[in-house]
Amino acid sequence: MVESLFPKGTARFWTALLSILLAFAIGAVMIIVNGDNPILAYSTMIQSSLGSVNNLAATLAVATPLIFTGLSVAVAFRTGLDNIGSEGQLYMGAMAGALVGIYLKGLPTTVHITISILAGAIVGGLWGWIFGWLNVKLKVNLVVTTIMANYLGILFTSYLANYPFKPPRAPIGSTTFVQDSARLYRFFDSSTLNAGFLIALAMLVVYALFFNYTKFGFEWKTIGLNRFFARYIGMNIHRQMLWAMFASGGFAGIAGAVEVLGVQGRFVQNMSPGYGYDGILVALLAGNSAPGILAVSILFGALRIGGIGVEQVTNVPSELSSVLRAIIILLVAAQAVIFAFLKTRRKKHHELGSTVRS
Amino acid sequence: MTDIPMPLAIEMSGITKFYGNLAANDSIDLDVRVGEIHCLVGENGAGKTTLMNILYGLVHPDEGEIRIFGEPEHISNPMKASRLGIGMVHQHFKLVESYTVAENVILGQEPKKSLFIDRKAAYQITKDISAQYGLAVDPGALIQNLPVGVRQRVEILKTLYRGSKIIILDEPTAVLTPQETKDLFKTIGHLVEGGKTVVFITHKVKEVMAVADRVTVLRRGKRVGILERGNITETALTTMMVGREVMLEIDKKPKQLNGVLLRVNGLTAKGDRGNVVVKNVTFNCHRGEIVTIAGVEGNGQTELIEAITGLRKVLYGEVCINNENVANHSPAQVRAIGLAHVPADRISIGLCVKEKISENLIAGKHRSHTFQKGIFLDWKKIQEYSKKAVNDFDIRTPGCEELVQNLSGGNMQKVVLARELLFQSDLLVAVSPTRGVDVAAIEAIHQEILKARDSGRAILMVSTDLDEVLQLSDRILVMYNGEIVGEFDPKNTTREELGAYMIGARRQEKSTEAAVESVVTHG
Amino acid sequence: MNWEALFGPSVLEASLRIATPLLLAALGGAFTHHAGIFNIALEGMMLFGAFFAIVASYYTSNWVIAIAVTILVGMIIGLLYGVFTIHLKADFIVTGIAINVLGLGLTTYLLRALFHVKAGLQDARIAPFPDINFPFLNSLGSINEIFNDQSLFTYVSWILVVVLWLIFYRTPFGLHLRAAGEHPDALETAGVSLTKTRYIAAVCCGVLCALAGAHLSLGYLNQYVINVTSGRGFISMAAVLFGGGNPVIIILVSLLFGFAESMSIRFQGIGVPGYFALMIPYVVTILALVVWSIQKQQKLQQAESAPESLT
């Protein structure tokens, strides 16, 4: 079970901040080695990701799918489920959303979009639920099966796009465009930022309300923190864990459907540059909290867009953002562990008795 | 008795070890002669494990000296202990299941043939040692296919392979069948014939009498006596182990029984290590009565309670609450019928320590209408409820929003008790309700339990604290080796009598009241 | 149906070639599997090897030095994984994913920063691993076509299967390694350092995965493309789990998976969707895990059920 990376509360925030700053410092070294000016690079990064309305829109557009996949992973991790399969669930949901968007005709926009996204959520949810069932009922390792499921989801949807649903004269691996009634509203002509972002914000609120204010959220949280206690106190842990897997896959499915309806307009194979995996990093950095997911998604979005901007102005490749992301996570993982280590040192002196007594 | 002092294998003098304010070992002396079988006995909390951990280098004493074969030694870690010739056979075996006997024996000191393991040599060495000490094993057998008794022999072989001269056995018969126990005693005889010295930790009187040359008895961290073969009697042992303190009276209303609520019939269950630890247990509990199961820890009490509360599989038998058989139902279902449960392990099972006090208090009740406002949880009501509970049960905390993990052990226990008592269930099962709780709070907890009993609920308690057992109970059942070996009225029994039953020195024939017809027939 | 094209010698020959990086990475994964430190970062480790091998060969035009560099890189990345999971006790999922992301990000970054290319590096300066010809096979027809003139590393990987089998099951180190995963306490009480054993496993895994990646770029494609491994690391992971870390089973499974991959290429060539062939490794792994779990459950149920006697 992936424990939340963080010690607690405010310490969590400072740990994250420190890791981000340290990562930028390491990045600066890399930039210098490359023969460029880190200050120029970073200021360009900030400017091109947050410096104008257009840029901000681009950042938020990239942040949108991350919010969904971040939620997907956060739901699972918080309930004690190691779902690494958001990427595959995203693709399955995307295809479902695309098909409903293509083949249902004559519906008012709100209805059409709702049904399409719902389809994405359900299919994505099922693609998570299956492996949750194998894990809960047969004790099959969830990490491995969901990693396998990623590739199965990607391959299967690529197959669908290239064979049964291949339109004539379309580029390889795409379906036809969805009906206009299924397109998500774009805020600006110059950017892909769409109403999906608002849906993401709504989902964040739902997530926060669910875990903090509902009895089911309380159960899921408790199951994630101490499964033995949950069972002892009378919670039906299997049933709740299965629902959690469905919800987790569902969020990832929505990510895919929104990408299709809001950005691409159709299903395109390999359209996700790893949103599912990034969702894992988002959830971990955010400590599974809703405001954290929002903040980290925007941060990652800014890194990605900023990285592209940096590449245009300097010689620094845009992959700098990937590198920074990975370093942040490694640093955070290490810090959390150092905190835990210090805490257990203190506890050990305290409690050396109770374990070794009599 | 000669006047020449016999050579000592182990000489521990004035060993003292404090954990916080508690002296786990208080100036203990222990001498073990070369070539003898020395038993170390005492109840849980007596200090045996700490003492042995010190001997084996897992723990360092605060005061005291140790001599091994006459030489003063500072045993800093188990590796050092091993080099000094001290070998330990733990209760939980450390064997790799998929390896053979020989592979487990030689692990870490493999005989080599150039770069590879010399498997023939390993096989032969294992065979030789086992023949030398009469430990029948097949060196080529896989551990996973071997019964517990044979696995234990492999553990002994491991110590012999490393040249141990002193072999410590930690409660070795806990997992053995009677036949295997007999074999073990034979093995110990062979070891001693081969010049080894054996230290045997146990709380079972029969075993002590069967093998010991000498016995050291510990109680509450001190050594209370040594007995020599010839002077070892059950009475002497019992008295030393359990003591003869004066009992404190407690104000208790006479019991008012109101029908049988819990009926346990022929209950049989397996433990975590695959052996049967609850053997055909039958008893009942009435409304308005406190029934306590007394016994030394490790005799099946925990597993019995787990079986009753739906946390462990029931192999045979029934558990009837309100005439409904709940054996093998889920914990949720058993609770729904009318059970509240204060578990043995309060931290890992009884609480979610990373959650708040209020959350822990309403867990299990969180679906009830009282705590909902529409589809959401009514945190205001929850906090009011929690505040009241914290006050009523005197839980020391800055607030209900505090995480449980920041509470002291005693206060954590109070949270569990508060929650479970507030279920107002027909049956309350409480395991060691006052363990780790400070003296002032023990009184309060006992009062709560009595209140529950007086209001007509049935209480099933498990306790290792004889004072608590004698003060609170209306009826006492002693459990030994997985069976109920005696039933007592606290007014008509003594610590010594209970102690004798707890260590297996005595047992009653099953009373007719308890022998209810078993519905399930055994194969 | 052109069966020759689907199952003939050229397909088998390609299968062996394709299977080699899978095999090498899986052998690396076997180390960490046995040691009890689950490694989902095979993919990232392979990428590091693939990239740095090409870089070394580019600058020195010498494949021997490329191998040396690859081994060094593998040791470093293995050590990194070890430090995080063993000493810092970081969660292995987090560390694994971080290394995968770092692998892809860093190699792409360096590719573009150092070589100013967009997507891949291909250059005459790059010296590939040589193919080896065994003269005694030359006259053996189909066998010659399949088994001869394979890359050096393909043959090395087969030898490694035997070597690793011996190491795992016949040497003291192997005994320690497997005990580290199965019952770490037993190892520690036997006086062997669990930490050291696991570190060695992590480093060996890093080296083998790096070599796997190197074979991919220098021995098979003779160029570096961004994300050249494209998920092979996870197929290797599947092969490890399938075989329970046994090198003999690993090579069989790797060959099967390599065959599936080359089949999918052939399928595409004759207009049949190759996707389903590509799915084989993943489906097969899931099925195997399910079957194992069912068996384990059955065994547990037997152990928990009524005993023969109550005494």
Q: Where are the beta strands (DSSP E) in B102-196?
A: 112-113, 116-117, 166-170
Chains sharing 3 or more CB pairs under 8 A with chain B = A, C
**Cβ contact C175–B115 (<8 Å):** no
B292 has a pLDDT exceeding 90: yes
Nearest CB to C172: which of B110, B268, B522? Answer: B110
d(CA C227, CA A329): 20
Does residue B281 register a pLDDT over 90?
yes
What is the total residue count of chain B? 523
CB of A240 closer than 8 Å to CB of A216: yes
Residue from the list A215, A232, A352 with its beta carbon closest to the beta carbon of B349: A232
Burial readout A246-283 (b: 16 or more C-beta within 10 A, e: otherwise): bbbbbbbbbbbbbbbbbbbbbbbbebbebbbbbbbbbb
Please indicate if any CB of chain B lies within 8 Å of the CB of A9: no
Judge: C113–A317 Cβ closer than 8 Å, yes or no.
Answer: yes
Task: Give A186 to chain C, closest Cα distance, Å.
Answer: 31
Which tokens hold the place of B345?
Answer: 């392990």
Cβ of C290 within 8 Å of Cβ of A134? The answer is: yes
pLDDT above 80 for B478: yes
Helix (H, G, I), strand (E, B) or coil at C120: strand
What residues 272-311 of chain A have any CB closer than 8 A to a CB of chain C? 274, 277, 280-281, 284
Q: CB distance from B374 to chain A under 8 Å?
A: no
- Identify the residue with better confidence: B335 or B6: B335
Single-letter amino acid, residue B410: G
| B265: β partners | B318
- Where helices occur in B172-268 by DSSP H, the ranges are 178-193, 205-211, 234-242
How many angstroms separate the CA of residue B476 from the nearest CA in chain A?
25
pLDDT digits (tens, 9 = 90+) for B139-152: 999 998 898 889 99
CA of B334: which chain A residue's CA is closest?
Answer: A234
Which residue of C40, C104, C109 to mutate against A (max A Cβ within 10 Å)? Answer: C109
Question: Do A358 and B50 make contact, defined as CB atoms within 8 angstroms?
Answer: yes
Give the pLDDT confidence score for residue B139 in this predicted structure. 93
Q: Using the beta-carbon criterion (under 8 Å), do C191 and B79 form an inter-chain contact?
A: yes
Residues of B with CB under 8 A from a CB of C: 78-79, 82, 94-99, 103-104, 107-110, 112, 115-117, 119, 158, 177-179, 268, 270, 274, 276, 279-280, 313, 315-316, 522-523
Average pLDDT over residues C281-300: 89
Optimal mutation site among A157, A316, A322, A324, interface C, most CBs of chain C within 10 A: A322
Q: Are B318 and B327 in contact (CB under 8 A)?
A: yes
Confidence of residue A293 (pLDDT cuts 50, 70, 90): very high
- Tell me the pLDDT of chain B averaged across its residues: 87
Cβ contacts (< 8 Å) between B60 and chain A: which residues? Answer: none
Radius of gyration of chain C (CA): 21
Residue A230 binned pLDDT confidence (cut-offs 50, 70, 90): very high
DSSP B288-318: T-EEEEE--TTSSHHHHHHHHTTSS---EEE
Q: Which two tokens stand for residue A102?
A: 């293509």
3-class secondary structure, B261: strand
State percent of chain C over pLDDT 90: 41
Helix (H) or strand (E) holding A300: helix A290-313
Contact A232 B350 (CB under 8 A): yes
CB contact under 8 A, A231 and B336: no
Confidence of residue A338 (pLDDT cuts 50, 70, 90): low
- Number of Cβ atoms within 10 Å of the Cβ of C172: 20
**What is the three-class DSSP state of A79?**
coil
Would the CB atoms of B99 and C175 count as touching at under 8 Å? yes
CB-CB under 8 Å, B115 with C183: no
In this complex, the residue of B22, B364, B436 whose CB is nearest that of residue A233 is B364
Angstrom distance (rounded) from CA C13 to CA C221: 15
Residue listed under structure tokens 């009523």: B392
For residue C241, the distance in angstroms to the closest alpha carbon of chain A comes to 9
Q: C123: distance to nearest CA of chain B, Å? A: 43
Neighbours of B176 (CB within 10 A): 17
Could you say which DSSP state residue B358 is in?
H
The pTM of this model reads 0.87
Could you tell me if A32 lies within 8 Å of chain C, comparing CB atoms?
no
Nearest to C179 among B107, B270, B313 (CB): B107
Do the Cβ atoms of A162 and C84 come within 8 Å? Answer: no
CATH architecture of the domain covering C3-128+140-303:
Orthogonal Bundle (1.10)
> What is the least distance, in Å, from the CA of C294 to any CA of chain B?
19
Residue A16: is its pLDDT beyond 60?
A: yes
The C-alpha atoms of residue A228 and residue B349 are separated, in whole angstroms, by: 6
Q: Work out the minimum CA distance from B441 to partner chain A, whole angstroms.
A: 19
Kindly determine whether residue C95 and residue A281, on different chains, have CB atoms separated by under 8 Å. no
The strand order across the sheet containing B276-286 reads: B276-286, B260-270, B316-321, B324-325
Residue B13 near residue B64 (C-beta atoms within 8 A): yes
Beta-carbon separation of B24 and A357 below 8 A: yes
Q: In chain B, where are the structural domains located? A: 8-242, 248-342+427-523
What confidence tier does A289 reach under pLDDT thresholds 50, 70, 90? very high
Q: What's the rounded Cα separation, in Å, for the pair C211 and C47?
A: 10
pLDDT score for B513? 41
Contact A228 B348 (CB under 8 A): yes
Residue in the block written with tokens 């110590």 = B159
Report which of C238, C175, C232 is spatially closest to residue C209, judged by C-alpha positions.
C232
Query: Is the Cβ pair B107, C171 closer than 8 Å?
Result: no
Instruction: Report the chain B residue with the minimal C-alpha distance to residue A353.
Output: B19
Cβ neighbors of B313 (< 8 A, separation 6 or more) are: B269, B270, B307, B328, C304
Could you tell me which chains touch chain A, where touching means 3 or more CB pairs under 8 A?
A: B, C
Q: Is C182 on the interface with B (CB under 8 A)?
A: yes
DSSP of B485-519: EEEE-GGG--HHHHHHHHTTS--PPPPTTT-PPPS
C-alpha A258 chain-centroid distance: 13
Residue with the two structure tokens 């004539």: A168
Strands B214-219 and B197-202: unpaired
Report CB contact under 8 Å: A333, C276: no
pLDDT in tens, B362-379: 999 999 989 999 889 999
Q: Which residues of C touch B179 (CB under 8 A)?
A: 311
What count of Cα atoms within 13 Å lies in the side-chain half-sphere of residue B69? 11
Contacts (Cβ under 8 Å, ≥6 apart) of B448: B393, B417, B421
∠A17-A22-A25 over CA atoms, to 5°?
A: 130
Would you say residue A294 has pLDDT above 70? Answer: yes
Task: Report the C-alpha gap between C144 and C150 in whole angstroms.
Answer: 10
Contact between A214 and B350 using a beta-carbon 8 Å cutoff: no
pLDDT at position A337 = 65
Residue B520 has pLDDT above 60, yes or no: no
d(CA A154, CA A201): 27
Q: What is the pLDDT of residues B377-395, one digit of tens each?
A: 999 999 999 999 999 988 8
For the record, the structure tokens of A311 come out as: 């590449």
Question: Tokens 């290319």 — which residue?
Answer: C117
pLDDT, tens digit, 9 for 90 and up, residues C128-147: 888 888 888 777 777 777 78
Contacts of A231 in chain B (CB under 8 A): 311, 330-331
Q: Which token pair is B309?
A: 């509360």
Collapsing DSSP to helix, strand or coil, A350 comes out as helix
| B331–A233 CB contact, under 8 Å | yes
Give the rounded distance of the alpha carbon of B31 from its chain centre: 26
Q: Tell me the chain A residues in contact with residue C97 when contact means C-beta distances shorter than 8 Å.
A: 84, 277, 280-281, 329
C-alpha angle A11-A14-A16 in degrees, rounded to nearest 5: 105
Residue B458 sits at φ, ψ, to 5 deg, of: -95, 135
Element housing B292 (H / E):
strand B290-294
Q: Is B78 on the interface with A (CB under 8 A)?
A: no
List subunits contacting chain C, requiring 3 or more Cβ pairs under 8 Å.
A, B
Tell me which residues of chain A, numbers 219 to 258, contact chain B at a CB-CB cutoff of 8 Å: 219, 221-222, 225-226, 228-236
Comparing CA positions, the residue from A14, A9, A85, A15 lying closest to residue A289 is: A9
How many Å apart are CA B303 and CA B483, to the nearest integer? Answer: 12
* Segment of B13-22, C94-103, C177-186 carrying the highest mean pLDDT: C177-186
- Which residue ranges make up each domain of chain C? 3-128+140-303
Q: Which residue of A has its CA nearest to C284?
A: A148
- Does any CB of chain B come closer than 8 Å to the CB of residue C5? no
Which residue of chain A comes nearest to B19, CA vs CA?
A353
Domain B248-342+427-523 has CATH 3.40.50.300: yes
Dist. CA B489–CA B513, nearest whole Å: 14
Fold for domain B8-242?
Rossmann fold (3.40.50)
User: Hey, what's the torsion of the CAs at A237, A239, A243, A249, to 10 degrees?
Assistant: 80
This model of the complex carries an ipTM of 0.85
Question: B77: helix, coil or strand?
Answer: coil
More confident residue, B309 or B247: B309
Compare CB distances from C306 to B107, B112, B316 and report the shortest one's residue: B316
Return phi, psi of residue B40, to 5°. Answer: -120, 115
Helices (H), B162-280: 178-193, 205-211, 234-242
- Asked whether residue A311 carries a pLDDT value surpassing 50, the answer given is yes
Chains A and C form CB pairs within 8 A to the count of 138
pLDDT digits (tens, 9 = 90+) for B17-44: 988 777 888 899 999 999 999 999 887 6
